[in-house]
Structure 1
């Protein structure tokens, strides 16, 4: 912004200087030309009067001395012609051919005819130098005239004009330098608060609600100062609202845990005393109580997840995936399902501490809920290969975690809404809070990644979690900063199942 303002100020100053100095230089050049012309006319008229007296009195010697003195004084040439057009005196020797040429020139012929107007023009004489020639008639009676021709070199005039142009250029350069200094200070004074507001806005968009524009409120144009004050008030109000919302969610979730635990305990104690025909209602009440408890836990986890305070660390995805498969396998086997681990290795990725475990627990729980007996759920890790014409650093940019089930799947609209809080798929019968995928999305975003639901090869859902990869030793790829958005992740609508490591289950599908 400073460069653009400075360029604008200098452009305006340059246009003003050009509009002032160019006409001034042109006017001065014309004035110098007119001054030289008048000087030549005056010399020619003065010498014509002297020549008329000298030639009538026969004083040709005095005329010759006067001609030489005049030529030496003006630095030019002087020639006097009688009424017949023959040279009567000249400041330099003339050959017959030169004398005829001078007598035949336009200004001399005009003077020999006794024209009152003085013919002034620029002509080439001698070695080809440009000169200013003026001729005046020398009266000899009533109808006979001689002529005086005076030539002045124009080099001195041109030098004076060039000197004026150089002076104007130097003055313009000094003026531009001064304008540049003032313009730079003015541009910095204008742009510094704007740049501070830009940086503060970027930090606020990244989640830093404590940012304030302090410099912009005291310096810069009044409009920018008022904008900075409004920005600070907006940021403070937003910070207060989000802090109040986070505190309310956390406190409410925490306060609800105790009465829910007491309610579940009382329902358990009532079970022996409930009639057989009423036990179905009691079981439904206990199921809803468990669902409400999970919802409260999810709200509490989301309230505690403060993305601006988390620190991303490298985590071993292969180790965590193996641990989660070992933990969840008995649960899957109890439901008649099978949990398998893909054979591909993914290495390390950047994530919030403990986030990958929570992500996998939520995704594996969702996959188990939609899987029927004999189904296979695959937990796979992948490091996508770069494109054929890609660069090597593309390979180390991110890694993927896939949880692929064989359930009924979802439509495109349902996959888009699945990350909304408290949203549940139509037809869901088992307990669920509708917060699992929302929490997964928050945890992935806190680690600099994201999660997407795709259609699996066998009709189910392929939940893909993409996280920034830890670059290999000596390889490219910086540690991603907080608030980074992953770049244009390639998606695959159909994901083939790789080879499985787990032992086949007796009830599994072929």
Structure 2
């Protein structure tokens, strides 16, 4: 954030400097050239009047010395021609004396009493020069022509020096603005960074470094104070929920156990006709107990912030399948494990075991005798997903679900309308919660040939970076 604020500040200042300095530099260069041209033209006109007066009085012999004196004083090359364009003197090339230059554009224009001013390239040096050609005469007749030529190198050097001064001033201003902008950006970014750290700590469950409320702009101070109040309130609520999740199990188990014992004590004293009602009451009590345990497990899961760890997916699947095989044999259902390649995934400690237990429990409830439950694992192909994921499929051969039922199956307490088992409606919500806590996703799909395919997708982990994985498996069906 500091870098972006500083860059935006410097970009705006650079734009302002360019808008101010570039037009000023261009205007200065043009004005210097215009001033220099005007001064050269005025000097040439004065020299032309003097030369015309000398020629009128027959003092043409004074022209070379007059031209040299003017050239030394102004640093220019001076050429004087008569009224027919014949060169009388030239301070640079004496060989031109006596030559007719009336055909040259500037000399021809001056002979017609029209001054000529402009720039051109010097044939001998190739440098750019300024020439000023003016007529000499006090009436319509042009008595002589004076051409002065000035090298523009010194003028350009002066303009370049001015550009360097402007650039140095601009860099100095940018340096000063950078220091000021950096200080301002830091004063704004520090409270925001403190809020970011506090938000990350709040996501972990507890704020250990609350943001300061006396630094930064007034708006950020008020935001920090409001955030601190909100975070404190949320921590109190989280602590209250955690206390409920930890204490409610002890408070609820005792009356439920006592109620079960009292109902079972009625059994010897009940008439045979009431036995069925007692069995149903005990069944509902058992279902209520499982529902309470499921709700408490979900509450503990929602209130915890546990980091995922690398787990060998196939090892856990094989272990849980071995444990559930005995229960499946009682219902004459086979459990098959497909996929032998080791696949490491990220999962909350103990979550993968609970996910498989809940999915197998649901599959066993709906599987008819002499059917098969398949646990299949597969890793995504390289480059097919970013990051790569591994999939766990739990396929049964039961009645399956419609598309609408599959979408609602993860709602808490939801049960299919034709369900004839005593499920609590919390198994699949717990599966989704555990999968999300592990950074994955879960879904229900129609299995090929009928039945249901419960799919769990988890992020792959590089096994070489984890020499051993946590062994936190349950020793019985959950």
TM-score, normalization by structure 2: 0.82
Aligned mate of 1:159, from 154, 157, 161: 157
Aligned to 1:260: 256
Preserved contact between residue 254 and residue 300 of structure 1 (Cα < 8 Å): no
Aligned to 1:274: 270
Preserved contact between residue 123 and residue 133 of structure 1 (Cα < 8 Å): no
Shift of 1:281: 1.8
Aligned to 1:505: none
Aligned to 2:225: 229
Shift of 1:133: 1.5
Aligned mate of 1:361, from 357, 373, 378: 357
Aligned to 2:171: 173
Stretch deviating more after TM superposition (71-80 or 245-254): 245-254
Q: How does 1:53-92 map to 2 (within 5 A)?
A: 53-83=53-83, 85-92=85-92
Stretch deviating more after TM superposition (308-317 or 253-262): 308-317
1:151–1:337 distance in 2 versus 1, CA, 3 Å: same
- Give the distance between the partners of 2:378 and 2:60, measured in 1 at CA: 113
Shift of 1:271: 1.0
Stretch deviating more after TM superposition (1-10 or 13-22): 1-10
Shift of 1:148: 3.4
Aligned to 1:11: 11
- Give the distance between the partners of 1:300 and 1:87, measured in 2 at CA: 115
Q: Unpaired segments of 5 or more residues in structure 2?
A: 470-478
Aligned to 1:487: none
1:404–1:68 distance in 2 versus 1, CA, 3 Å: closer
Aligned mate of 2:429, from 438, 453, 458: 438
Shift of 1:123: 5.2
Aligned to 2:294: 298
- Give the distance between the partners of 1:323 and 1:107, measured in 2 at CA: 105
Aligned to 1:412: 403
Aligned to 1:482: none
- SS state of the match for residue 425, structure 1? coil
Aligned length: 467
Shift of 1:433: 2.0
- Give the distance between the partners of 1:220 and 1:237, measured in 2 at CA: 24
- Give the distance between the partners of 1:126 and 1:428, measured in 2 at CA: 106
Aligned to 2:188: 190
1:183–1:436 distance in 2 versus 1, CA, 3 Å: same
- Give the distance between the partners of 2:95 and 2:461, measured in 1 at CA: 99
Shift of 1:454: 2.4
- Give the distance between the partners of 2:12 and 2:340, measured in 1 at CA: 64
Shift of 1:276: 1.8
Q: Deviations over 1:440-498 (max 9, x none)?
A: 333333334343322223422233334445534489x9x9xxxxxxxxxxxxxxxxxxx
Aligned to 1:485: none
Aligned mate of 2:454, from 443, 457, 463: 463
Preserved contact between residue 138 and residue 148 of structure 1 (Cα < 8 Å): no
- SS state of the match for residue 232, structure 1? helix
Q: How does 1:393-412 map to 2 (within 5 A)?
A: 394=388, 397-398=389-390, 400=392, 402-412=393-403
- Give the distance between the partners of 2:439 and 2:385, measured in 1 at CA: 22
1:253–1:333 distance in 2 versus 1, CA, 3 Å: same
Aligned to 1:489: none
Aligned mate of 2:378, from 374, 377, 383: 383
- Give the distance between the partners of 1:71 and 1:209, measured in 2 at CA: 89
Matched, 1:132 2:131: yes
Preserved contact between residue 217 and residue 228 of structure 1 (Cα < 8 Å): yes
Preserved contact between residue 380 and residue 390 of structure 2 (Cα < 8 Å): no
Q: CA RMSD in A?
A: 3.7
Shift of 1:240: 2.6
Preserved contact between residue 363 and residue 396 of structure 2 (Cα < 8 Å): yes
Aligned to 1:34: 34
- Give the distance between the partners of 1:355 and 1:46, measured in 2 at CA: 103
Q: Deviations over 1:285-312 (max 9, x none)?
A: 1111111111122223233336644354
- Give the distance between the partners of 1:142 and 1:406, measured in 2 at CA: 120
Stretch deviating more after TM superposition (407-416 or 37-46): 37-46
Q: Deviations over 1:149-178 (max 9, x none)?
A: 333333322232232223323332333333
Aligned mate of 1:242, from 238, 247, 250: 238
